[in-house]
Amino acid sequence: MRVPFYSQILTGRGIISGMGRFFRYFLRNTFYLGAISSECVAGAVRPSSWVLPVRQRFTRQILFGGVEAIPFTMFAGVTAGIVLTLNSYKFLEFTGQIDFLGPVLSILVIREAAPFFACVIIISASASAITTEIAMMRVNGEVDLLEGQGVNLVQFLVMPVRSDLRWRRRG
Amino acid sequence: MFVACAFAASAIAILMIGRISSWAFFNSIFDAIVLADFLNLIGRSTVPAFLIGVICCHEGLRVSGPVTVVPQAVTKAMLRAVAVTLIFSAAFTVLIEQVAMHVEPTQFAEECLTTVSDRDCEASGRPWDFCGHFNFQPEATGVFIDADE
């Protein structure tokens, strides 16, 4: 049975070796993600990569994860704006610095809330769907079939998703 | 869209409170927005979205075995995506602050920038911008003063 890497640290083969294994695990995954990212960017800037199935998948991703998430984004913005305004107003009025309400809100909303909420909305709206879709394709053997036909998996599966997420900067 | 909705809701909340002019409130918001805010917003929205997409596809492609491993892969992908987002946000904030310390003018330089233009703005009745007059005096900021003197 395969055990997680952190259980080996806790159950004993030494702290140093555990840290070494952790950093090897971290570096291996980081380099793997970097390799996929590089291939995606290289494919996205090459016009010949945007064949019809890739464009169809890209459009479907925008419609599913971007357009359908607009009402929830607006709802989250309104809720966060009201909550941040009321809390900031109470605290600044208590301290006598009510003139700083505008700068405080601009910092809170633009610097902190908007990027964080954008990422949370992307994760909640798209991340689980993307992972489930690709994992089910893997389990059902569709990915093996594509590989057997010589199809570039990164170009046909990963690149439309990443390009779609890149254009959904709704913060 | 998120920012617009948040500021609109803030203005409505300010109007409901009724103790601050909403016009002055919006002016103070737009005065406080600087270039570093936009860089921060774009950088912290775009790059984590890249990483989220890559992580989700990576975890999905790593699955092997029965269908029951799919929920585990989804859970792991979401946890890793949230962790990467938080780590990148913290690192990017520190980076932007370090860069902004060297790029943005000091408070004394800002005073030099706005000394004359404030009078013009008061005369023109538009105190929220520089009215197109910049009175930048580089020797007054102390940047060009020789250290030996």
For residue B146, pLDDT over 60 is answered with no
Claim to verify: residue A162 and residue A89 sit in the same structural domain: yes
Claim to verify: residue A33 and residue A109 sit in the same structural domain: no
Of the listed ranges A162-171, B22-31, B83-92, B105-114, the least confidently predicted one is B105-114
Claim to verify: residue A41 and residue A65 sit in the same structural domain: no
Mean pLDDT of A139-152: 82
Claim to verify: residue A76 and residue A138 sit in the same structural domain: yes
Claim to verify: residue A118 and residue A64 sit in the same structural domain: yes
Report the residue from A113, A132, A165 with minimal CB separation from B53. A165
Model confidence at B112, pLDDT cuts 50, 70, 90, reads very low
For residue B116, pLDDT over 50 is answered with no
Q: Which residues, in sequence order, are CB contacts of B130 under 8 Å at separation 6+?
A: B113, B114, B117, B121
Mean pLDDT of A90-117: 81
- B contact residues 2-21, partner A, Cβ 8 Å cutoff: 2-10, 12-14, 17, 20
Model confidence at A162, pLDDT cuts 50, 70, 90, reads low
| Top-ranked range on mean pLDDT: pick from B35-39, B118-122, B128-132, B144-148 | B35-39
Of residues B121 and B7, the one with the higher pLDDT is B7
Claim to verify: residue B43 and residue B80 sit in the same structural domain: yes
Side-chain-side CA neighbours of residue B57 (13 Å): 26
pLDDT of B41-74, one tens digit each? 888 888 888 888 888 888 888 888 888 888 888 8
pLDDT on residue B123: 52
Task: Give how many domains chain B has, as a whole number.
Answer: 3
Model confidence at A12, pLDDT cuts 50, 70, 90, reads low
| Top-ranked range on mean pLDDT: pick from A18-32, B7-21, B86-100 | A18-32
Of residues B110 and B40, the one with the higher pLDDT is B40
pLDDT on residue B47: 86
B65 and A115 in contact by Cβ < 8 A? no
Give the sign of the dihedral formed by CA A48, CA A54, CA A56, CA A58.
Answer: negative
Query: Cβ of B61 under 8 Å from any chain A Cβ?
Result: yes
For residue B139, pLDDT over 80 is answered with no
Model confidence at A138, pLDDT cuts 50, 70, 90, reads confident
B45 and A169 in contact by Cβ < 8 A? yes
Residue B117 distance to chain A (closest CA, Å): 21
Of residues B51 and B37, the one with the higher pLDDT is B51
Claim to verify: residue A33 and residue A61 sit in the same structural domain: no
Name the residue in chain B with its Cα closest to that of A155.
B57
Claim to verify: residue A23 and residue A79 sit in the same structural domain: no
Side-chain-side CA neighbours of residue A133 (13 Å): 14
Q: Which residues of B touch A103 (CB under 8 A)?
A: 28-29, 31-32
Claim to verify: residue A41 and residue A78 sit in the same structural domain: no
Claim to verify: residue B29 and residue B39 sit in the same structural domain: no
For residue A157, pLDDT over 50 is answered with yes
Residue B14's domain comprises 1-33
DSSP notation for chain B: -HHHHHHHHHHHHHHHH-SS-HHHHHHHHHHH--HHHHHHHHHHHHHHHHHHHHHHHHHHHT--SSTTHHHHHHHHHHHHHHHHHHHHHHHHHHHHHHHHHHHSPPHHHHHHHHHHHHHHHHHHT-TTS-TT-----GGGGTSSS-TT-
Task: Give how many domains chain A has, as a whole number.
Answer: 2
Mean pLDDT of A77-99: 83
Query: Cβ of A110 under 8 Å from any chain B Cβ?
Result: yes
Q: Which residues of B touch A158 (CB under 8 A)?
A: 53-54, 57
For residue B108, pLDDT over 50 is answered with no
Model confidence at A64, pLDDT cuts 50, 70, 90, reads confident
Show the tokens assigned to B129.
Answer: 């911008």
pLDDT on residue B98: 75
Claim to verify: residue A89 and residue A154 sit in the same structural domain: yes
- Report percent pLDDT > 90 for chain A: 0
Q: Which residues of A touch B82 (CB under 8 A)?
A: 123
On average, the pLDDT of chain B sits at 70
Q: From CA B130, how far away is CA A96, in angstroms rounded?
A: 28
Claim to verify: residue A79 and residue A163 sit in the same structural domain: yes
pLDDT on residue A171: 44
* A54-63: Cβ within 8 A, 24+ apart: A54/A155, A54/A156, A54/A159, A54/A160, A57/A156, A57/A160, A57/A161, A58/A160, A58/A163, A58/A164, A61/A126, A61/A160, A61/A161, A61/A164, A62/A164, A62/A167, A62/A168
Claim to verify: residue A27 and residue A89 sit in the same structural domain: no
For residue A25, pLDDT over 50 is answered with yes
Query: Cβ of B52 under 8 Å from any chain A Cβ?
Result: yes
Show the tokens assigned to A28.
Answer: 């291996």
Give the sign of the dihedral formed by CA B119, CA B124, CA B130, CA B131.
Answer: negative
Mutate to test the interface with A, among B61, B72, B87 (most CBs of A within 10 A): B61
Query: Cβ of A128 under 8 Å from any chain B Cβ?
Result: yes
Q: Which residues of A touch B33 (CB under 8 A)?
A: 106, 110
Claim to verify: residue A61 and residue A102 sit in the same structural domain: yes
Q: From CA A86, how far away is CA B10, in angstroms rounded?
A: 8
Model confidence at A168, pLDDT cuts 50, 70, 90, reads low
Claim to verify: residue B10 and residue B50 sit in the same structural domain: no
Residue A35's domain comprises 1-45
Claim to verify: residue B40 and residue B84 sit in the same structural domain: yes
